[in-house]
Structure 1
Amino acid sequence: MAIIARLLRSHFYHRVDCNLWVSRAMKINCLALDHTILPIEVREKIAFSREDSIQFLSQFRHRYQIDDALLLSTCNRTELYILAKNSHIGFEILDSILETWQQERGFRVPVRCAAIHPHKVAVKRLVRVAAGLESQIIGESEILGQVRVAKELSDEAGVSGKVILRLWERALRCGKRVRSETRLGDGALSVAYGALRIARKIHGSLDGLSFGIIGAGEISELVLKNLEGVKNKKLTILNRSPERAELLAARFGGEAGSLDKLSATVSKSDVVICSTGSQAPILKEKELAAEIVNRRKSLLLVDLGLPRDIEPGCGNLPQVFLHNLDDLARLIEENLDERRNAIPEALEIVDHEAHRFELWLSGLRSEPALLALRNAMKEACDLELELLKDEVDSETHEHLRVLLHRLVKRVLHKPTEDLRSQGEDLEPRFLQRLESLFQLEDRAEGEDSS
């Protein structure tokens, strides 16, 4: 051990390159614009389609030379997570992006510091989002699918780095655990449920009503699932690509078609529920006014899109009732008590998964040091073995090589575990910690005195 300590002292200190520590300073920051700070008329201005998301992330990668990012854009939020060289740089990048969005899209964030979050808050935020704790409707299940899609977009844009990928995995795991281990997701509380609850309030019963389902995505599918128990209903499902509408019609019954049939469908429907992903309204006040001139029964329009699918002015027309996502959130607020009771249990899972990510990240940050330590020890062994090469036969030399490498592995096991556990405190104390662990001064002196 004295030989190893002596050689470690002479070779290791000169081999640690400060560039190995760059990864230790890297932090995750996030820009979070959601329903808690922005109303729906502002959120729709910053909603990203799939194509827009990929284009933005690709441009972001080229401009900032960052290949570890995640953009999550849903009806409740637009959030950007990035891995930057340090928190200061991360904040500056996100602040610049926020300013650009505000200028280009015509909105202002009331409190700037409420939108940009440092590392620990950002990490826990994505985990909370996947758990449904940051949703307008606490515990809603759609968010898990949306988080999965965000990862696909990062893959396509070339910004799926290993750090945010691991955070994404932990967030997804947390979301699944919260829904299986707590009652946070219990009960039929979703935008689909809210839409049909409004329909019951206006029409009394859903039986025998005509429904126009505009859009054929996950939310529309959830609406159709909630309608399965309704008797004598008439369904018309429209979509920009009629093939998807036909698949849903085959599964749930009803007619299918393209958006060309929108006017005719609205005219014959009692309830129209829209969720298309269009970047502009597809149902406009002037056109609707012409369609309902002679209408004598109520028409309920439920807009689940973001950006909104229905012009707000449609709600001012006679016999027309218009509700959007924010209206639905207020409506079902009274039914959230049972889910709120599950929040403490869900938060324990969030804390656990966030902590597991931080432990992994701390280990990742210590890897350069551990690699340098292993290399130095290996070189020390090789040097000593080289000195013995002419003094022992080849068989003995090989036995010594195996013995030394086994000894090094055993000696390094405890220090390696200790270094990995240091996390944020490792860098400033590293050399002192290393000297203390191996007692390099004492062992070197012992070797010299012998």
Structure 2
Amino acid sequence: MFRQIQGNARTCVLAEPLFVVPASLYTTYASVYMLHLHVTDTQIGLITTLNLLLQIISAFISGHLTDRLGRRKALWVFDLLSWSLGALLWAVAQNFWWFVIAAMFNSMQRIPTTAWYCLLVEDTPAEKRRHVFTGLQIVSVLGGLFAPIGGVLVAHFTLVPAVRIMYVFFCISATIMIYVRHRGMHETEIGLRKMKETGKANFGEDFKHYLTTLKQIFRNRTLLLLFFVYVLWNFQVTISNTFVPVYQVEFLHIPAVMISLFPAISSAAIVVMLLTVVPRFREEQAKTLMNIGFLFLIAANVLLIVIPAQNFALVVVSTVLAAVGTIISNPYLESVVANAIDDEHRSTMLSVLNVLILVFASPAGIIGGWTYSIDAHIPIGLIIAAFVVSIVFVRLAKRRSDLEMRMETTAHLDA
């Protein structure tokens, strides 16, 4: 499969472990780390929401900056600010306000995300993009296998010092990745042309272009439905990443040193799926496979709600179900959305998509924190609801795309 990935996409995939491996160490402990620094559940939700609200601004200008600076430069500069500097601030944080400042820098991440996505797919043929996203999923899986090292560090140093070490390691490793990746990539043809075009343009004209793009999205019902599925995916990811580890520690009474095992278990399950089942999937089954994956994820979260406290085995089962659902649904969701976007307007479309994601996902943090303080089960119920609605939207998108295909075939035969 990796032989199918060439150019910038290959560089992105090969450099990704330098980001994913250290990130897998601290991700599980990020919210618990804040709790140990006397940040409340509600404040954790507030920090998450603030970060996402500020990301709306960076998402809105990401298309303009990506076109104006070029994909490589935008990725280089804003990755350093959002991830390297953000991680350093997390590492030395003392209280709520330190996390607020870190959130402000980390919120710039939408600019390099747009640039990275353009570099990833613009020079990659549409039929090979699934291989790219599956490759990234494999890297993510392998990174998850290192997560138990975080638990070893916590057991040895206690939680706060251990997480500080993880953040410093991430800062160093991510900075190396940013440099290596920058050296190994070239500007895309579309990127070079956009740099020349935006050099003569102004932000007012770009704003009009954003409005035109937004109208195009709303006119394309299939694309709009898929965009909303993508929005719901990000909504549930925000709640899941922020509050599921807290739920496992506080409500299910799983020891903090043990929760780092769950990403490794998830990764092992995904490896088995990649070696046995995933190679049999076909691109034309994408929308059906997405819904099957969503059903697995619903089952995983329902099980998480009904699990009695201290039942480690059933948490493992829930983790495996979630891993299976993710590897089935996520690569196809990414691929379907990527192929639905026109290359010529990709940076602007991605910018608009990111704004839509953040407008709807930004309340997720504060909603999750508020509902968790009322009942720890409610945030997980919201995750389940997001997948139920996603299944409906995917079915509607499939029906619409099938209808459009039949109409095109009929028109071609009539001609």
Length-normalised TM-score, structure 1: 0.24
Length-normalised TM-score, structure 2: 0.26
**Quick check: which one's helix share is greater?**
2
Larger radius of gyration between Structure 1 and Structure 2: 1
**Quick check: which one's strand share is greater?**
1
Structure with bigger RCO (C-alpha 8 Å, 6+ apart) = 2
